[in-house]
Amino acid sequence: MTLRPSEDPLKDLGGKIDAARKAREPKPIAKGGKFAAAGYGWRMTIDLATGICVGAAMGWGLDSLIGTLPIFLIVFIMFGFAAGVRVMLKSAEEFQKDQARPDAADVDVRN
């Protein structure tokens, strides 16, 4: 019993390459999962804390440059808090839109 060589070796090679590419394609996975809401919660918490810290740093920097009482520190902490709350509200709106989408649209492809 002898093995007969293929009719077109380049076609066979192309088929093997295509099969290897299909095997390496990322599998679609569902977005979110069990802890999606916790992720959004942490994101909103970090957004608020970051806004406050950036505002405090800017206020402290201005106070140290100008040599004033901690007036700019207090003002910029308020601005940072307002910016953090604004970003939190946008994140909450994004979370609501993400939850309102049908399940078929929740499929994400990861590389």
* 13-69 confidence digits (pLDDT tens): 888 888 998 888 887 656 666 777 888 889 999 999 999 999 999 999 999 999 988
Domain boundaries, the chain: 32-98
Mean pLDDT to the nearest integer, 92-98: 87
Spatial contact of 75 and 58, defined as CB atoms under 8 Å apart: no
Rounded to whole angstroms, the Cα distance separating 39 from 109 reads 19
Rounded to whole angstroms, the Cα distance separating 88 from 48 reads 7
